[in-house]
Amino acid sequence: MIDALLAQDIVNRMKHIIQQELNFFSTEGIIIASTDPSRIGQQNHQGAQFVLEANQAIVIEYDDQYKGAKQGINLPVAIDHQMVGVIGITGKKEEVSQYGEIIKEMTEVLILNNMAKEVVYNRRNAHSHILTIIQDNDSAENQRSLDMVYGIDIDNQYYTAIAGLPLNSPSDYFFEQQSHFYLDLENLLSKDKRTIFEMRGNLFLALLPTQKSQKVTTTIQQICQLLEQKYHITLIFGAGTPGKGHGELKKSIDQAKTALSWNKHFSHQQTLAFTDMAYGLVLHDVNAGNKSYFLNNLFNDLPKQDIEHMLSLLDTYESCNGSIKQCAETLFIHKNTVQYQLNKITDLTGYDPRVLSDFFTLKLASILYKLQD
C-alpha cells in the first residue's frame, strides 16, 4: 500500500508541472491524496474502481459519467506488474490526455525511488542494530534474533572488524555529506551481502566476511580511494583479528577500534592491524589509575600547553635519531636553542632526553599522554 504522505508529495509535484488538479487512489478506490483537499477521503469513485478492476486507463468525458467522478483521465499505477493505486488528472479531455502516460510513468518512478530509499534506510538500521547487539549484548535470545530476523549466522561465518576515522578533524562538510557517503559505500560493499557496516558520527565500523588479511586490506583501499577521489576526505583504519560468534566478533571490533586509535596517534598509515601494534599491544591497556599516577608524577601539574610543546620536541628529537644538528635544522632553530629546550625538559621532569634510559621514560609518558585524547 502506498503511504498517503508519499502520494500527496507526488500529486503536489505533478501539479507544479502540468498545472492541473490530481488525485491518487488507493487499491480500495479511496482518494488518499489530492491537490484538492476537499476530495481526500472520497469513496465510491466508479471511475477509479473501473481502472482497478480492468487494469486500464479510462477517460471520463463529463462529471458524474461515473458515479463520484469528475471529467478527466484515470490511469493504473503498477510496480513490478502489481497494481498499487490509480492516478487521476482532473480536466477537459483535450487538456489532460496528453499528460496521462507521462504522469503515470513519473508516478511509478517516484514510488520506486522512494522504495529504494526505504530499502537503504531499513538496511542501515538493521546493520546498526546488529553491530549494537554484538557490542553490547551477549544473551542467547539476542544471538538468535540475528539469525531469525536478519539472516546473519555469526556462529559459522568468520568476520574481520575494521574501524575508520577521518585523518584530520572532520569539517561540517563531512557530516553534511554522510548520507552520500553511505550510499556510495553501500554500492561498494553490498557486492557481498554478508558485509555489515555503519557510520556513526565520524566513525566508520564494519564486519567484513573474510579471514584473509589481503582481502581486508583491498577493501579498505577501495573505501579510501572512493572517499578520497569523490569527496577529498582521507580515512585511516584499524583492523581486528578474524573471529566468529558473539565473543570473538566483539573482541575483533574492540581490537579494530584500539588499532585505529593507535594508528591515529602514532602510526599514521592507511591501515594498522591490531597484531602489528608492537608495544602498543601492551601500552593501550594500561590501568587508568596507574597511567594517571605516572603522568601526574612526571609532569607535576605542568600546564597543558607546556606539556604538548615538550612532547612535540621529543617527537622531533626521536625522528632525528637524537641528532641535535638535524633536530635544529628540522625545527629551523639554532643548535643551542635545542640544547636549551632539552635542558628545560630535564629541569621540569627530572629526566634527560639525551640519556637513553631517561628518554625511554619520557617516550612512555608521551604515548600514555596522547592515548588520553
Which pLDDT tens digit goes with each residue over 298-339? 998 899 999 999 999 999 999 999 999 999 999 999 999 999
CB-side exposure of 148: number of CA atoms within 13 Å?
6
- Residue 118 binned pLDDT confidence (cut-offs 50, 70, 90): confident
Cell of 53: 478492476
Residues 231, 219 contacting (CB under 8 angstroms): no
Please name the residue ranges forming H helices in 232-355.
245-262, 280-283, 288-299, 304-319, 324-331, 335-349
Judge contact between 87 and 74, C-beta under 8 A.
yes
Q: How far apart are CA 276 and CA 287, in angstroms?
A: 21
Distances in whole angstroms, Cα of residue 182 to Cα of each of 67, 101, 162, 224, 239: 49, 34, 16, 13, 20
- Cβ burial, residue 27 (10 Å; 0-12/13-18/19+): middle
Q: Specify the DSSP element, H or E, that contains 215.
A: helix 213-231
Q: What is the mean pLDDT of residues 139-157?
A: 68
Burial of 283 (0-12, 13-18, 19+ CB in 10 A): middle
Query: pLDDT tens across 41-94, in order?
Result: 988 889 999 999 999 999 998 888 888 888 999 999 998 888 999 999 999 888
Q: What is the pLDDT of residue 317?
A: 95
The confidence band for 183, taking pLDDT boundaries of 50, 70 and 90, is confident
Q: What's residue 254's pLDDT?
A: 95
Taking alpha carbons only, the member of 213, 97, 200 closest to residue 158 is 213
In terms of pTM, does the model score above 0.75?
no
Task: Give the span between the Cα atoms of 166 and 179, in whole angstroms.
Answer: 16
